[in-house]
Amino acid sequence: MTDYAEEQRNELEAIESIYPDSYTVLSDEPISFTITVTSDAGENDETVEATLKFTYVEKYPDEPPEWEIFSRENLEDGDEEEILTLLQQQVCAVSGLHLLTVPLLAEENLGMVMIFTLVTAVQEKLNEMVDQIKNRREEEKVRQEREAEEAEKVAFQGTVVTIENFLAWKARFEMEVAEIRRRRQKDEEQAGKLKLTAGNNVEVDESLFQDIDDLDLDEDDPDFNPLEGSDED
């Protein structure tokens, strides 16, 4: 008869010695713990990290442990799904349907302690993801350079004239011309009103002309000069 408790204790001792800085016990009943897995540094010293949480079931290792991603760093949702799928592939599910969908390695893992195997698989996967991050960054750089080149070509060539954008430009141009004419006409009308108002405000002293008939003007005299005699003094 398998002594599950002893096998579990032995594995925990081995895990603590292998991962002294990343292994943390969460509870003793049921036995639950985390192991933080960090990738190797990438080209620019970037890393990705996943903290895996494992919980022993009563009959582990004859039955697979429970697991989840406790926390993560620099991983996207799609990356997390890949890790969970990887773990699923490394352990054997109880139902026969799952036995048909997992690789033989998973079936072989049942009956043996497997935490080290699972963590090692995740470690390798994270290293692959660092390389994928590098590839994604290079692809993004190429995409940005391509977009910059296209933008430069458009700026150099100008806007391609089509019927649609020509008609739109023509409509805007006609509206602008009509607005300029309307303002000019308004200014001219206002200027005309100002001139008319100024003319109506001229005051004439009519008394200057009241005694004009009393003046002794000999207009029939060919030598008549109205300016002569004005300085009688």
Place of tokens 């100008």: 158
Instruction: Specify the pLDDT at position 34.
Output: 97
Instruction: Specify the pLDDT at position 187.
Output: 83
Q: Is the dihedral of CA 105, 58, 16, 46 positive or negative?
A: positive
Instruction: Specify the pLDDT at position 207.
Output: 59
Can you list the alpha helix ranges (DSSP code H) found in the chain? 4-18, 77-90, 96-101, 104-109, 115-157, 163-200
Pick out the chain residues at pLDDT < 50: 93-106, 232-233
Instruction: Specify the pLDDT at position 55.
Output: 96
Instruction: Specify the pLDDT at position 206.
Output: 57
Instruction: Specify the pLDDT at position 10.
Output: 95
pTM over 0.75: no
Instruction: Specify the pLDDT at position 208.
Output: 54
d(CA 191, CA 228): 44
